[in-house]
Amino acid sequence: MNITIYTRKRSLEADPRLAELSAALERGGHRLYVWDSRTGLPPDTQMLLAVGGDGTFLSSSTIVGDSGIPVLGVNLGRLGFLSENVPEAVAEALARGEYSVEKRTMLRVSGLEASANGPASFPYALNEMTVHRSGAAMLGVDVSINSVPLPTYWADGLLVATSSGSTAYSLSVGGPIVLPESRVLIVSPISPHNLNVRPLVVPDSSEISISFRSRDRKVVFTMDNRTLDVPADSRLEVKMAQFSLNRVRLNNSNFIKALTSKLYWGEDIRNGNE
């Protein structure tokens, strides 16, 4: 197999764990490329290894785009839900064929063409998109789901997350934990001033329209780990992209186990060694 190893930090290329992984993959008959560019890939790439942390995995989604090339996350970072696999497990799992490819929903955002930073070259996100106030004044966010308006959110901002993003920023703003295979989107206010609003879970087939009530001329907009400014009079349309990201999952991967080991979910002295 032709495997491209992608890192965002050149310093990781000197990590001995990555060197050992590369050697093991080559012994297994794989052809390797090392890549640190955020554009393009060697044309015969059959799998991309995103080596680092979840930020590296998110960046890899902009590299593979809609090509369908599967991405395997290798964790040399900190927490790691998307990049959950330790280097020592990867080569052996690939050699034995002990992995599968799962499809992860991508978000598509339209209405960015008039942004102050120019048109968004890759208007897609794997985890979430957010809007934030750019000044001190509170932001009013008008949202409609399939043309049905919701009450205005008065908050620091708003987040729309996929099931993949439920353990990322969405979790920090009080959103629910969602199993990755769930076909839903999560709409959550960020630091709301309304005491009676809660995160909303909608089908991933929903079309979400967003506009603003702001005293400022611009709103800060993010897609995963990318940021740009949009005019406050923008109208954004968010929906599921027509393609998915193919994520490689090793057979020993377990989402619930990851929650308990990485986030200490349900940690309770009464549970003993469960």
15 belongs to the catalytic site: no
Residue with tokens 């690939």, as numbered in its chain? 94
Q: Kindly provide the residue ranges of all beta strands, DSSP E only, lying in 191-234, ordered along the sequence.
A: 200-203, 208-213, 218-223, 226-231
Helices 87-96 and 16-27, axial angle in degrees (round to 10): 10
Number of helices followed by number of strands (H, E) in the chain: 5, 17
Residue 179 tokens read as 């199993």
Residue 79 tokens read as 């927490």
Q: Look at strands 2-6 and 31-35 and give their pairing.
A: parallel
The phi-psi region of residue 147 (left if phi > 0; otherwise alpha if psi is between -120 and 50; otherwise beta) is: left
Active-site residue, from 15, 36, 44, 54: 54
For the chain, the residue count is 274
DSSP per-residue codes, 122-180: --EESSEEEEEESSSS-EEEEEEETTEEPPPEEESEEEEEESGGGGTHHHHTTPPP--T
Task: Compute the distance between CA of residue 218 and CA of residue 94 in angstroms, rounded to an integer.
Answer: 47
Dihedral (C-alpha) 95, 82, 249, 174: value to the nearest 10 degrees?
160
Task: Compute the distance between CA of residue 4 and CA of residue 224 in angstroms, rounded to an integer.
Answer: 22
Task: Supply the residues annotated as catalytic.
Answer: 54
